[in-house]
A and B are shown apart, each in its own frame.
Chain A
Amino acid sequence: MKRLSFLFPLAMSVAFAGVAQAGTLDDVKARGSILCGVSGGLAGFSQPDDKGNWTGIDVDFCRAIAAAVFNDPTKVKFLPLTAKDRFTALQSREIDVLSRNTTWTSSRDTSLGLNFAGVVYYDAQGFMVRKAAKVSSALELSNTTVCVQSGTTTQLNLGDYFRSNNMKYEAVVFNTADEVIKAYESGRCDVFTTDVSQIYAERLKLSKPDDHMILPELISKEPLGPVVRHGDDQWFDIVKWVLFAMINAEEYDVSQKTIDQRLKSDRPDVKRLLGIEGNYGEQLGLTNDWVVRVIRHVGNYGEIFDRNVGANSRLKIERGLNKLWSKGGIQYAPPVR
Chain B
Amino acid sequence: MSAAFVREQTLAPRPAPFAATGVKAWVGQRLFATPRDIAMTMIGFAAFVLLAMPLIRFLFLDAVWQGENRDACAHVLTGACWPFVAAKFNQFIYGFYPADQLWRPNIVFALGAILLVPLAVPSAPWKRLNAFLFLVVYPVASFVLLTGGNLDAEHFILGYFIRIEDHVDLVWHGMRAAFWLDYAFSSLVLSLAVALIGWLFGTPLSTSLKVMVGLFALLALVIAPADADFGLSWVETREWGGLLVTLVVAVTGIVAALPIGILLALGRRSEMPLVRWASVAFIEFWRGVPLITVLFFATYMLPLFLPGGANIERLVRALIGVALFSGAYMAEVVRGGLAAVPKGQYESAAALGLGYWQTMLLIVLPQALTNVIPGIVNNFIGLFKDTTLVQIVAILDLLGQIRSAFSDPNWASPTTLYTGFAFAGAIYFAFCFAMSRYSLFLERRAGASQLRMEANRT
Contacts and interface: CB of A to CB of B under 8 A. Distances in A.
B409 A315 contact: yes
A198 B408 CA distance: 12
A52 B401 CA distance: 10
Given A52-B99, A207-B414, A92 B409 contact: no
A194 to B, nearest CB: 13
A335 interface: no
Interface in A35-85: 40-44, 47-52, 77, 79-82, 84-85
Nearest to B76: A207
A202 B416 CA distance: 12
26 contacts: A3-B150, A7-B226, A8-B156, A9-B312, A11-B160, A14-B160, A15-B310, A16-B309, A40-B394, A40-B396, A43-B412, A47-B408, A48-B404, A49-B408, A50-B87, A80-B394, A82-B392, A84-B392, A85-B393, A85-B394, A92-B308, A93-B303, A93-B309, A178-B417, A185-B414, A205-B414
Contacts of A49: 408, 410
B12 to A, nearest CB: 69
B102 to A, nearest CB: 11
Contacts of B91: 48, 50, 52
Interface string B315-333: 0100000000000000000
Contact of B99 (A51, A89, A94): A51
B304 interface: yes
A70 to B, nearest CB: 18
Pick the most buried of B310, B407, B412: most chain A CB atoms within 10 A of its CB: B407
Interface in B262-313: 299-300, 303-304, 306-313
Given A79-B238, A85-B299, A5 B413 contact: no
A79 B300 CA distance: 14
B308 A21 contact: yes
A156 interface: no
Given A50-B87, A85-B300, A314-B409, A4 B310 contact: no
Pick the most buried of B88, B99, B312, B403: most chain A CB atoms within 10 A of its CB: B312
Contact of B88 (A50, A81, A85, A185): A50
A4 B151 contact: yes
Interface in B141-169: 147, 150-157, 160
B400 interface: yes
A11 B157 contact: yes
Interface residues of B, number: 58
A201 interface: yes
B404 A207 contact: no
A239 B425 CA distance: 42
Interface of A: 1, 3-9, 11-17, 19, 21, 40-44, 47-52, 77, 79-82, 84-85, 88-89, 91-94, 178, 182, 185, 201-202, 204-207, 209, 313-315
B60 interface: no
B223 interface: yes
A21 B311 CA distance: 14
Nearest to A13: B310
A81 B394 contact: yes
Interface in B80-139: 87-88, 90-91, 95-96, 99
A203 B276 CA distance: 60
Contact of A206 (B300, B311, B414): B414
Given A7-B151, A7-B153, A207 B75 contact: yes
A124 B69 CA distance: 29
Contacts of B414: 185, 205-207
Given A89-B303, A314-B410, A315-B409, 17 more contacts: A4-B153, A5-B310, A5-B312, A9-B312, A14-B160, A16-B308, A40-B394, A40-B396, A42-B407, A43-B409, A50-B87, A50-B88, A52-B90, A52-B91, A91-B304, A93-B308, A209-B74
A275 B310 CA distance: 38
Pick the most buried of A9, A44, A88: most chain B CB atoms within 10 A of its CB: A9
Contacts of B88: 50
B307 A5 contact: no
A49 B316 CA distance: 26
A129 B74 CA distance: 20
B22 to A, nearest CB: 49
Contact of B238 (A1, A11, A77): A77
A48 B405 contact: yes
B406 interface: yes
Contacts of B314: 94
B236 interface: yes
B385 interface: no
B403 A41 contact: yes
A77 to B, nearest CB: 7
A6 B306 contact: no
B153 A17 contact: no
Nearest to B316: A6
A4 B405 contact: no
Contact of B154 (A1, A17, A206): A1
A94 B155 contact: no
